[in-house]
Amino acid sequence: MALTWLAIGVLFSITIVGIPIGRACFEFAKLSAFPYGKEIIRETELKGKSHTSPAWRVINLVLNVIWFPIGLFLTLTYFVLAVVYALTIIGIPVAIVYVRMGQFVLAPAGCRVVSKKQAFASAVANEMERRLNQ
């Protein structure tokens, strides 16, 4: 599955317009290959709102709106797979991964896959920055 997402990312990255979706496909390939110990967070949460360009946020929003019909189909597919895997005791960890993947694929532009430590560190840094700005 990771190789498929990698190939789709390369196809999207051929055009300049598709580069943000291609980046999201590369992130999804990373999550598909190594799903455990990872978090999916938005770039605005990772870098902070003040460190991401408003134009880039608008581009990501537009791309997520365009991607929505495809993402909805893929999300439903991942959720059905999660239910099938959850019916077995052994498949519950895989079902949890499929639910996380389904959430990510619904609106992937502007998301990053990072380690849990990095996600926690960025959350703490954003909270400290928010408190200093009050």
From first to last of its 134 residues, the chain has per-residue pLDDT tens of 889 989 999 998 998 888 888 888 898 888 888 888 888 888 877 777 767 778 888 888 888 898 899 889 989 999 999 999 999 989 999 899 889 888 888 888 888 888 888 888 888 888 888 788 77
pTM: 0.74
Please state, in angstroms and rounded to a whole number, the distance separating the CA atoms of residues 91 and 26.
25
Separation CA 81–CA 68 (nearest Å) = 19
Domain count, the chain: 1
Range of the domain at 88: 2-132
